[in-house]
Amino acid sequence: MERKPTKISIIGAGAVGSAVAFSIATQRLVSEIVIIDVNTEKAEGEAMDISHGIITMGTMNIHSGSYADVVDSDLIIITAGVGRKPGETRLDLANKNVAIARDVTRNIMKYYNGGAVMVISNPVDVITYLVQKESGLPAGRVFGTGTVLDSARFRYFLSVRLGADIRNVHGFTAGEHGESQFAVWISVHLSGMRLDSFCAKRGILLDKEEVMKDTVSSGAQVIKRKGVTNYAIAAIAAELAGTVVKNKRSIFSVTSVLHDYYGINDVAVSVPSFVGDEGVVGNLVYDFTDEEAEKLRGSAAQLRSFLNSLHI
């Protein structure tokens, strides 16, 4: 039986969207990548530039297009929006990006005929909630990158302090992709050994508050120095894209609209979730400690309050 061609559409050809397209192409995840942007020449240029290196990537059709080209996509990735400026929080972006997200969603749904929708645009929890509601798609079909990048940063900072290969360091953060996120310390282990035991045996005094401070502030630190964060999120987006198109059902701390999860309803926030070809195909009811569960509810409450202020 002939294999169905795989296709990813990327909305937004800015620093993030173009980096995402390049990362997906280098990993040879799909047979077709379409880049869509209101600045058609920018989208064309990005598609051309990536295509000129296709000799190292395999056979792919990488091109620019219009919203009509989202038809038959396995995954639609939304990166469109205004970038965060130095000193600006992700939530400060909401008033600027909500209007853009509404317009993007309306245009996608004119041609949508299947596939998952992944949101990268910030504030990702707010935009994910908006796109899920405005699109009318089934629950979980829309999800956001959430704290997957934060979790990667978290593991990086731990690996540096512990002097261990990051591939042996496991753990994640949950909640808002922003200031109210929290480390799920109960999840942290190194090749099966609990963090506290590892530190005790290695004589390491780990400042957990400092690790989390670095994790939360790292995005702002990058923006302060180069004006944008795009490479790390592109790598994360490609990992998630591969999970979707291959229907791996892998567990990531992505953001999606929750329903009766630790008492949380009608708000998008990051928790461990199974990701597959239909987006989030289920949330893992994780064994949070009482303190972690309270932090999760607090983070969700902050986001719900903000959504209310935006009348979403």
Active site residues: 177
The H or E element containing residue 238 is helix 231-245
Q: What is the DSSP letter of 277?
A: T
For 100-130, give the DSSP string: HHHHHHHHHHTT--S-EEEE-SSSHHHHHHH
For 148-201, give the DSSP string: HHHHHHHHHHHHHHHT--GGGEE--EEB-SSTT-EE-GGG-EETTEEHHHHHHH
How far from the centroid of its chain's Cα atoms is residue 160's Cα?
23
Residues in the chain: 312
The per-residue b/e assignment along 89-120, b for 16 or more CB within 10 angstroms, e otherwise, is ebbebbeebbebbeebbebbbebbeebbbbbb
